[in-house]
Structure formats: structure tokens, C-alpha cells
Structure 1
Amino acid sequence: MAAHQDEPDAQAACRRGDARQASAGHTQKKARASRIDLFFLDECGFSPTQPTGYSWSPHGQRRLVAYEAPKGRRVNAIAAYRPSGDAPTLRFQVYPRTLTSGDVVAFLATLPSGERPCVVVLDNAGIHISKQVRRALPSLHRLGLSLFYLPAYAPELNDVEAVFGVIKGYELPERSYVTLQGLLVAVRHAFLRYRRRLNRKR
């Protein structure tokens, strides 16, 4: 009997999933046709010492990367990546502190172009679904911006995650930074280099 009682809920969940998938596909088609601006948004943190990757050193010598304690010296970035439309675009802001919902709202307000509707895809992180964000929705809607929340635990559906991977893995050649200011400058330059490469693809 319990299985029969659960069945309508399961069917309803499937229908919601199908509708969400159809809506996402329709949104992406409009983005490719430049009828909307479709951004993928998320945040990323950077420690003074980045994870080590591949490197070179003289034969018989080990390459050492100095370790810097991250306490109070992390840099956080919020970024929005638009892969479709007339040209790929990357918008970002970098902060030497923890990000807040106010930072998210301020950043979202910079994304609409005013020329076409703007849809922002993001996950259900606390600073994305906070009361402050919900209170800002009417003013964001008036700017032409709508939010599209991803299912839980689905980072692979957010295209900006691949951008973060390239920036962390390739655009920060120095793997350790002695000062917070040095890390802040390096992260900004890494995002700028990635954006310049996007611009060259136009």
C-alpha cells in the first residue's frame, strides 16, 4: 500500500523534472539565437597556496612549492559566464573577503544589457536564495533579469565551473602567494587573461 501512496509523488517529481529539462532546453535555444542573454553564475575561492599540478625541474631535483596559511588570506570571486549568443562573455568581481548576499544582488544588477531579457543560471547556495536576494527579485525583474535555479548537487550543469577549473589550473602559474594583495592581483589577472582569450574568439 505504501508503494501506491508514494507513486503519485514520484510521478509528480518526474513531471517537474521533465518540465524543468524542457524549459532549460528552450532557454538555451533562445540564447544561441541571441534572443536572450544566458549567464551561468557561481562563486569560487582561492587560497594563498594553490593545489600543485604538473611542473618541471632540473633532473634529480624536486620542485618545492612554499605553503602559505590561508587563515584570513583567502580571495573570493563571483563570476557569470555567457557561452552562447553573439560572443562568449565573462563578467567577474574579486574580493579579499567572504562574499555576501549583498554582493550577489549588486553583481546580478550589472548583468542585464537592456537590449534583451537576461536569464541567470545558479545553484541553491545560501547566498543565492537568501531573504535579501528574494527581496531584490522585483527590482531585478524590472531590469529584465530572471533567475533559473539548478537542481541540488548538480555542479556539472553550471558552465562556469569549467571556467573556474581553467583559471585555477592554468591561469595562475605561481602556486603560492606571500601576501593577500599579491593573491588578489594574481586572481584578477587570471580572470582578465581568460576573458581576453574569449574576446579573441569573436
Structure 2
Amino acid sequence: MTPPTTRTWSRRGHTPIVRVRGRSRRRLSIAALTCYKPGRSSRLIYRPRPDTRPDGRKSFAWTDYRDLIQAAHHQLDGPIVLVWDNLNTHLAAGMRRYITEHDWLTVYQLPSYAPDLNPVEGIWSVLRRTILANRAFADPEDLITTVRQGLRRLQYRSDILDGCLAGTGLIRTPP
């Protein structure tokens, strides 16, 4: 829960100190899809997941990603072309089976170590530079609430979502 610091100041000769109440081993995982459709405004679909799960798992399982894709398919009401990175849960056998079983889903893998081609990385960058910058969180719930508020604000800013896609150099229209 150490806050990302973008800028700080102090009197000349004094080192600025950002105080944090304590360290916590809790974490928040977030899965997000930036959705682009010609003729429509861009959308952001996300699911936060705190590490307090009954199964003890601290990150998303392939079934969580499957559920997110199903929710996106339901919300967007059309076929999905998914471009994602090489996270191990994206490459799981269950996820590969799920992809082959659904004809409305097409998946392209990004090359290894290519965050500059992933529009969602731009979303995380905007979030870190705006609502999460220079802030010490009181507890994990404060962090979760703040992240959800930031993502909710970005959800309705299609200009920012379009900028994240433009930053990748990827095109919006299918080949």
C-alpha cells in the first residue's frame, strides 16, 4: 500500500517524507477490457478482486477471466476480438478450451514483454498518475474504494480510452 508519488515538495535542504501507516500484505487484483467498436464510443469493463477469497487464491484464475469475457459478450452483444498479453492464466488449458468452444471469440496474443501494445496498460498509467498519485491509503478498503471510483470515472471517458488505444499504434478497424 505504498503510494505512488508523482511530485512532492519541501523546504530547501529538507528531504520530503511521505508517511504511510504501515505495511500490509493484502492486495487488489483488477482485470480490465478496453472495448472499441467502429461507430460506437469506447468502453471499459473491469472486475476488481480483493485477495480475501474463500479459496485462498490471491489473483485471478482463468475462470475469472472467462466470466469477465462472458460479461463483456453479454454487454456488447456481438463478437469479440480479444488482444491480450501472455499472462499465465490467459494461456491456461481451460481458457484455451473455452476460446475454441466459442465462435464469437477470436484471440490474438501480444508478443512477450510488449506492454506498449496493450491499451489497458495506458489505463493503469492514467489511474496511477491521477487518482492514486500522492496518496497514502488508510486501509485496504480505502484503496479498493479509490480504485473503483477512478475506474468508474474512466469508464465514461471515451476520449481517454481512445487515447490509450492511439498510444499503442493499433488500429480501430478490423483488417
CA distance in 2, matches of 1:94, 1:181: 12
Map 1:82-161 → 2, pairs under 5 A: 82-85=35-38, 86-97=40-51, 98-112=59-73, 113=75, 115-139=77-101, 141-142=102-103, 144-161=104-121
CA distance in 2, matches of 1:167, 1:200: 11
Q: Which residue of 2 aligns with 1:54?
A: 7
RMSD: 2.6
Cα distance, 1:56 vs. partner?
Answer: 5.0
Q: Looking at both structures, which has the greater relative contact order when contacts are Cα pairs under 8 Å and sequence separation is at least 6? A: 2
CA distance in 2, matches of 1:114, 1:166: 24
Partner AA of 1:80 in structure 2: L
Partners of 1:125 and 1:80 lie apart in 2 by 14
Do 1:171 and 1:193's aligned partners in 2 also have CA atoms closer than 8 Å?
Answer: no
Question: Unpaired runs of 5+ in structure 1?
Answer: 1-47
The answer as to whether partners of 1:171 and 1:194 remain within 8 angstroms in 2 is: no
2:84 and 2:155 map into 1 onto residues whose CA distance is: 20
1:171 positional shift: 2.1
How far did 1:134 drift?
1.6
Query: Larger radius of gyration, structure 1 or 2?
Result: 1
| TM-score, L = length of structure 1 | 0.65
- Would the aligned equivalents of 1:49 and 1:70 in 2 still touch at CA under 8 Å? no
TM-score by length of 2: 0.74
* 5+ long unaligned stretches in structure 2: 52-58, 163-175
Q: Compare 82-91 and 150-159 and name the one that shifted more.
A: 82-91
Using a 3 Å threshold, how does the CA distance of structure 1 residues 199 and 152 change in structure 2: closer, same or farther?
A: closer
CA–CA separation in structure 2 for the residues paired with 1:114 and 1:169:
29
Deviation digits for residues 40-99 of structure 1, max 9, x if unmatched?
A: xxxxxxxx1222111356x5576532234241x111110011245311111111111222
Q: Which one-letter code corresponds to 1:180 in the other structure? A: P
Pairs aligned (count): 151
